[in-house]
Amino acid sequence: MIFRQLFDSISGTYSYLMASRAGGEALIIDPVLEKVDRYCQLLRELDLRLVKAIDTHLHADHVTGLGELRDRTQCVTVMGEQTKADVVSMRVSDGDKVNIEGIGLDVMYTPGHTDDSYSYLMGDRVFTGDTLLIRGTGRTDFQNGSARAQYDSIFNRLLKLPDETMVFPAHDYKGDTVSTIGEERRHNPRLQVRSIDEYVELMDNLNLPNPKLMDVVIPANMHVGLRQDDLAKQGLALTPREAIARLGQPDILPVDLREAHERARHGTLAGALHAPYPGIADSLKPGGMLREVAAATGRRIVFFCAFGERSAMAVTAAKDAGLTNAVHIEGGIDAWKRAGGPVVAG
C-alpha cells in the first residue's frame, strides 16, 4: 500500500494520502489549501489518480483543500452528514464505508470536538481527526462541541478498538506522528479520568484562546460547493421540478452517479442507469458504456447525484468528451425529494 503522512507546519495539520498501488486510485484525508500544489505533485510522482478527498470535520484553524482538489482533479469530496459545509459530493454517516480501489475505510461518527466530527478506520489504523490526539483530545468549546459527547466517542468507540491499532490524528503540535490506542489509554493525561463528569470538568476549564483565523477559516470552509448556476446559464441543468415533469419520457436517460450505499439509503429514480462517478471518464470514452448507450438510443443523459456536485462535474466531463446535450439535476436527489419527486428502492 502507498501511504504518506504530510504535514502543514503553519496549522500543525496532518494530511494522509493513500492508495493500494501505483497507477491506481487514491484518497486524501484532511487536505490543507496551501499544500494542494504539493499534493498534486506527489500524485503525479506516484502515478496516482485522486478520486476522494475527506475532511474529518469542519476545521477552524486552516482552510480546507477540498474545493481546490475537486477543481483540479474532479475528485469526490466527502464529509459527515452533519456538516454545515454548503455542498460536498458525498455525505457519510456512522457505519458507512468509503471505498476506493483496494482500500476501504469504515466510517465512525465521533462527535465532541465538533458536532460533525468523524473518524475513519482502516484495518490496523484509525484516522481520528481532532477527536483523539496524541497525548491529548480536541477542544470542545465551539462549533457545537460537547465534552460529554467526546467522552462517549473516545471511551465507548475509539478505545474499544484493539490496543495495537495505530492512531493518526489530524493535528500535532509537539512533533509526534503516530500513536496507538493502547498507548493513549495508558499515557494520554486527559484519559486518566474516573468518570464522564471528571472529563467534562477537565475540558470545560481549559480556557484556550480561539484559533487565530477562526472567524475567516470557518466561513471559508462552509462554502466549498461548485457554482451550479454556471451550468444553468448554459442550459445544461434542470431544476428538480423540470426533471420531475420529464421523468419517464422516452428521450430521457437518468444516470445515477452515486455509490451503492447512497442508493440503498436514499433511493433512486425510476429507470435510472447506475454509473458511479469515479468511473465517469471511462464511461464517456469511445466504446464506454454511457457513450454507447447514448449513441444507440439517442436519449439525452440526465445526470444526478446526492447534491448536484458530482453531476455538475459529470456534465463538464461529457462536454469535454464531445457529448454536448448532457444535463444534470440541480441540487441532486436531495433537491428532487424536497420538490416532491418520487423515488424507488436503489
Summarize pLDDT for 292-305 with one digit per residue, the tens: 998 899 999 999 99
pTM of full prediction above 0.95: no
Q: Which residues of 251-275 are buried (b: 16+ CB within 10 A; e: fewer)?
A: ebbbbbbbbebbbeebbbbeebbeb
Residue 45 sits in the same domain as residue 153 = yes
Q: Is the pLDDT of residue 191 over 80?
A: yes
Among the candidates 204, 222, 240, a domain finishes at 222
The length of the chain in residues reads 346
Residue 215 sits in the same domain as residue 234 = no
- pLDDT at 226 (0 to 100): 72
324 vs 274: which has the higher pLDDT: 274
- CB contact at 8 A, 301 and 323: yes
Percent of the chain with pLDDT over 70: 100
- Is 109 domain-assigned? yes
- Is 344 domain-assigned? no
Residue 260, H or E segment: helix 260-266
Residue 194 sits in the same domain as residue 71 = yes
CATH at 32:
3.60.15.10
Domain that holds residue 278: 228-339
**Average pLDDT over the chain, rounded to whole?**
95
- Count structural domains, the chain: 2
Q: Which residue, 91, 78, 83, 88, is CA-closest to 114?
A: 83
Centroid of chain to Cα 193: 33
Among the candidates 198, 222, 246, a domain finishes at 222
Among the candidates 222, 251, 282, a domain finishes at 222
Residue 152 sits in the same domain as residue 208 = yes
